[in-house]
Structure 1
Amino acid sequence: MEDAERSVGDLSEVFSPGEEAPQEIEREKEDPFLVVWEEGDMGNPKNWNRGYRWYITVFGGLLTLNATFSSSAPSGVIPQLIEDFGMSSEIATLLIAIFVVGYCVGPLLWGPLSETYGRRPIFILAFVVYTIFQIACAVAPNTGALVAFRFLGGCFAAAPLTNAGALLADIWDADTRGKSMAFFTLAPFAGPALGPIVSGYMSVAGVGWRWLFWVLAIFAGVCTGLIILTLPETYGPILLSNKAKATRLSTGDSRYYSALERADTHWKARVSNILARPFKILFLEPMLIFITIYMSFVYGCIYLLFEAFPIVFTEGHGMNEGASGLMFLPLFLGGALGAFCYLLFFNPRYERFMKEYAPRPVPPERRLEMAMIGGPLFAIAFFWFGWTSYPSISYWAPLAAILPLGVGVVLIFLSLFNYIIDAYLMVAASALASSTVVRSAFGAGFPLFATQMFDKLNPRWASTLLGCIALLLIPIPYVLARYGSVLRRKSRYAPTKDI
């Protein structure tokens, strides 16, 4: 097997900086008994049929939509829960927040486990248990049980938030990953937007709140069945381990091995390293701290809307729960429009940058243009929403503000997600994991004070406060665009110091 025909990219997935000496990695790359992909090898997921890879991409998005849909769905049946269990409005709101708290725990488990045992078994385990907890919510006898089952369900529902994105990295090359990422980014925002619509109309139709959780259980069960029947293993190092076993059997030579098999001798230290590294990187990297703060604030605002919309549209405009849920639709439509703008304008522009900078990689700062546009849109949308929220003004005015808000959210997230990946490369998974945990904490915390804030300040001044904070955060991508290369040169973890 000639070196030119061998792909050793799996080593960078198995060993990250700090785990094994660089010279050791280089020595293993030259080892003729290290099993790697040969050029055109159909066992490599990146060489699979393009249509099949798009199915996996769409299915990964569906799994993420499932999880985020469940997070917001109870918002439409909160009045029923208050009546049946006699719970306070704060505890009822906690049913949404506690599910998102599970997102803080899950990413720390499912990512490292999938890199040890593979994507497929972790997806199966997580979704089987997630489905069970949805059923448990449907038959919950009291408030405490429902809150506990929601938290545990969120922990297992976090698997696609961490690993569905990893599916894209497994099956797409860097030059085609952007398009699939644009589609995939819609899922985390489509779910929260669609949840209140479905539950709101179920409530208006007189369907009991338990049936909402039965619907969520059925949705999760169908996805579980599809995972078992149609989702293959995509993690390259696991597939190479299988190839190494087959090679040993066919040749009778026990010296053949894969990178993951060699790493398995130190799996406890490796998992410990992966669990600790996300927060180590976060606290030592100023770039990542500010990006995480920005993304977390934006994410928290999305979940805050679940409390703000009933105040503006249900109380202010007299809408029922179903019609109030429909007010989330522009959030999804705005996200779709943002993704379309990426595909139509920003991605072709980035492809031109690739040719311009070739053979060197494109500087990560080129990813920040979308956030420079999305940030102002996001801030303006809150001022627009707040000062048109008077009951005397047509509901179409605040409703129209949600469309640019959705555009801004997707542009900010696509920009900053890609910046983290480009800047941190081999430790990007750890950087994203820490960002996901902090972001989820904001998503869980914001709904808990949203009702009080909008009641005390009224929707006008509450939205103005959020708009002002969004204005303060707008300079972050501009500062990184100007000084990001300097910060990367001083970074311990960014391997892109020379671009």
Structure 2
Amino acid sequence: MHDLTTVRTNSTAATTHVVPPKILKALPDEPNKDADPFMVSFSESDPDNPKNWSSVKRWYLTGIAGLLVLNATFASSAPSALVPTLMDEFGISREVGNLMVSLFVAGYCVGPLIWGPLSEQYGRRPVFILTFFVYMCFQIGCALSKNIASLLVFRFIGGTFASCPLANSGALIGDIWDAKRLGIASAIFAVAPFAGPGIGPVVSGYLVQSEVSWRWLFWILTIFAGVCLLLIVFTVPETFQPVILVKKAQKVRRQTGNERYYASFETRKLSFAQQMENILARPFKILFNEPMLIAITLYMSFVYGCIYLLFEAYPIVFTEGHHMGAGPSGLTFLPLPIGGVIATLVYIAFFNPRYERKIKEFAPKPVPPEYRLEMAMLAGPFFAISFFWFAWTSFPSVSLWVPLASGLLLGCGVCWIFLSLLNYIIDAYMVVAASALAANTVIRSIFGAVFPLFANQMYDRLGAQWASSLLGFVALAMAPIPFALSRYGPALRVRSRYAPTDQSISRASSPV
């Protein structure tokens, strides 16, 4: 199978199809005689193949993908410091005010089920453009809202459209990088989901301290979304290979006048019922039939929920306990993204080279997914320890720098857990990885939306020390999950309907 079809004679029709010289220049000298002569595909060095684009272009697109995720996660947490202001203006309870964050994250439960499959049908670019335009419009709606009901509705709908990068930015990175460089690109990209929630409270905190209208935050979000939309429109090309090949096939048909040329994606015909099954049912069918995926999803969902719970816990410890203003209180979240950056650098310097050596060791076979779990084995105890550290140094009599430092360890743990387990899902489930990740994202987002709603009650009744310790105990109970997967994962994959396994290496597939 090759780039474009060369001049051939169809023996059945006894006709010759002539390809213009400018198209022939791109054809290989030795066509594959076993391939369908009318199927359009990429040649080895085809410049239209995203994996053959220049490194500068691909790193730029990786940065843009991370920026889009940063935008969405920044918007999710940004209103957290505005809750007291909204309580005064609209006469609402704190629980209703916390819905400003929870409902936006609840939109993440809906969006990935829509935007992922749509991008696999129509391409990444049009879905990014559509969602960011609508998302920007709803930020304008938030800025102009006259009551709390409209504000909450706009936040939920805005979160649904803002969730597009959570589903598709990682897919874009997978479109443009080969397996060797994908690890580094993914690690750099992985900082964005944790940097956004850490930066959001800083901006809103200083807006509150400056005593400007709360509406200014949503104008800032509108501007940020508008800038990202312009970057997408003018600098982000289509990266989904099947859609690119469809456009190449259309171009060949126009230039040759021969309607037999086609891309394999054009032959894919799914009924509406099949499309709905793929979008809504298959992710959860896979989830409930896979013990491995259930364990991973529960662990990652708990970790994700804890990140959003901290938006209620940190103000109790730092704003109330240490009497910090709204602006400086927002700065207390910065150790989380800083810890994520440190974790990424360690991954690039240490863990990724180790994995590259495993690629050579197992070649030409793939590396067993269990080798992805090393970071999670280390990160699980780190994550639990960070909560005990935060819990028992959160007394007002203890220097605030001590509980702040726990955020560095927490950020490292979260980043490594997510990098490790997401890569494990991709490696283990392969062709159904998108559905497995969709189910994981939905359940994770439910935890992220619900945790802030009970945080205040938990911290009020248990106290900051025991409330944080409770989270530490749960994290400690979940820390053995990566070890169990490393030990029993190969056997579970052999019996799995969805995780293909090379049984010849199943005995050697555990790194411990």
**TM-score normalised by length of structure 2:** 0.91
Give the corresponding residue for 1:346. Answer: 351
Alignment of 1:281-430 (within 5 A): 281-430=286-435
CA apart distance, 1:360:
1.2
Stretches of structure 1 that go unaligned for 5 or more consecutive residues are 7-28
Aligned residues: 476
Q: Pick one of 464, 485, 488 that aligns with 2:490.
A: 485
Q: Which amino acid aligns with 1:442?
A: F
Q: Which amino acid aligns with 1:234?
A: T
Q: Pick one of 243, 247, 250 that aligns with 1:242.
A: 247
The answer on 1:98 being equivalent to 2:103 is: yes
Give the corresponding residue for 1:471. Answer: 476
The answer on 1:131 being equivalent to 2:136 is: yes
Quick one: distance in 2 between partners of 1:81 and 1:432? 35
SS at match of 2:83: helix
CA apart distance, 1:39:
1.1
Quick one: distance in 2 between partners of 1:407 and 1:142? 40
Q: Which amino acid aligns with 1:190?
A: A
Query: For residues 42 and 267 of structure 1, do their structure 2 counterparts lie closer, same or farther at Cα, with a shift above 3 Å needed?
Result: farther
Quick one: distance in 2 between partners of 1:154 and 1:273? 22
Give the corresponding residue for 1:444. Answer: 449
Give the corresponding residue for 1:51. Answer: 56
Contact kept? 1:488, 1:497, Cα under 8 Å = no
CA apart distance, 1:319:
0.4
Alignment of 1:82-121 (within 5 A): 82-121=87-126
CA apart distance, 1:246:
1.1
Contact kept? 1:97, 1:443, Cα under 8 Å = yes
Contact kept? 1:137, 1:146, Cα under 8 Å = yes
Q: Which amino acid aligns with 1:370?
A: M
SS at match of 2:365: coil
Quick one: distance in 2 between partners of 1:31 and 1:493? 30
Give the corresponding residue for 2:274. Answer: 269
Q: Which amino acid aligns with 1:45?
A: P
Stretches of structure 2 that go unaligned for 5 or more consecutive residues are 7-33, 506-512
- Cα deviation per residue 1:91-112 (whole Å; 9 max; x = unaligned)? 0001100000000000000001
Quick one: distance in 2 between partners of 1:269 and 1:364? 30
Contact kept? 2:114, 2:279, Cα under 8 Å = no
CA RMSD of aligned residues (A): 1.5
CA apart distance, 1:358:
1.2
Quick one: distance in 1 between partners of 2:457 and 2:35? 62
CA apart distance, 1:237:
0.5
Quick one: distance in 2 between partners of 1:56 and 1:267? 33
Alignment of 1:61-80 (within 5 A): 61-80=66-85
Quick one: distance in 1 between partners of 2:48 and 2:276? 27
Q: Which amino acid aligns with 2:60?
A: Y
Quick one: distance in 1 between partners of 2:2 and 2:424? 35
Q: Which amino acid aligns with 1:105?
A: V
CA apart distance, 1:250:
2.0
CA apart distance, 1:359:
1.5
SS at match of 2:277: helix
Quick one: distance in 2 between partners of 1:184 and 1:489? 32
- Cα deviation per residue 1:71-108 (whole Å; 9 max; x = unaligned)? 00001111111111111100000110000000000000
Alignment of 1:445-464 (within 5 A): 445-464=450-469
Q: Which amino acid aligns with 2:335?
A: P
SS at match of 2:163: helix
Contact kept? 1:485, 1:497, Cα under 8 Å = no
Quick one: distance in 1 between partners of 2:268 and 2:42? 18
Aligned-pair identity (%)? 62
Q: Pick one of 152, 155, 158 that aligns with 1:147.
A: 152
The answer on 1:432 being equivalent to 2:437 is: yes
Q: Which amino acid aligns with 1:130?
A: Y
CA apart distance, 1:207:
1.5
CA apart distance, 1:256:
1.4
- Cα deviation per residue 1:350-382 (whole Å; 9 max; x = unaligned)? 001111111111110000000001000000000
SS at match of 1:348: helix
Q: Which amino acid aligns with 1:187?
A: A
Between 392-401 and 256-265, the greater mean CA deviation after superposition: 256-265
Query: For residues 82 and 488 of structure 1, do their structure 2 counterparts lie closer, same or farther at Cα, with a shift above 3 Å needed?
Result: same
Quick one: distance in 1 between partners of 2:501 and 2:279? 21
Contact kept? 1:202, 1:322, Cα under 8 Å = yes
Contact kept? 1:112, 1:275, Cα under 8 Å = no
Quick one: distance in 1 between partners of 2:143 and 2:314? 26
Quick one: distance in 2 between partners of 1:259 and 1:174? 23
Quick one: distance in 1 between partners of 2:91 and 2:409? 38
Quick one: distance in 1 between partners of 2:85 and 2:111? 29
SS at match of 1:322: helix
Give the corresponding residue for 2:205. Answer: 200
Contact kept? 1:35, 1:258, Cα under 8 Å = yes
Q: Which amino acid aligns with 1:347?
A: N
Query: For residues 39 and 271 of structure 1, do their structure 2 counterparts lie closer, same or farther at Cα, with a shift above 3 Å needed?
Result: farther
Contact kept? 1:104, 1:436, Cα under 8 Å = yes
CA apart distance, 1:275:
2.8
The answer on 1:212 being equivalent to 2:217 is: yes
Q: Which amino acid aligns with 1:83?
A: D
**TM-score normalised by length of structure 1:** 0.93
Contact kept? 2:2, 2:41, Cα under 8 Å = no
Quick one: distance in 1 between partners of 2:270 and 2:99? 43
The answer on 1:256 being equivalent to 2:261 is: yes
Between 116-125 and 32-41, the greater mean CA deviation after superposition: 32-41
Q: Which amino acid aligns with 1:170?
A: D
Contact kept? 1:186, 1:339, Cα under 8 Å = yes
CA apart distance, 1:496:
2.7
Quick one: distance in 2 between partners of 1:428 and 1:32? 31
Give the corresponding residue for 1:19. Answer: none
The answer on 1:178 being equivalent to 2:183 is: yes
The answer on 1:223 being equivalent to 2:228 is: yes
Which structure has greater helix proportion?
A: 1
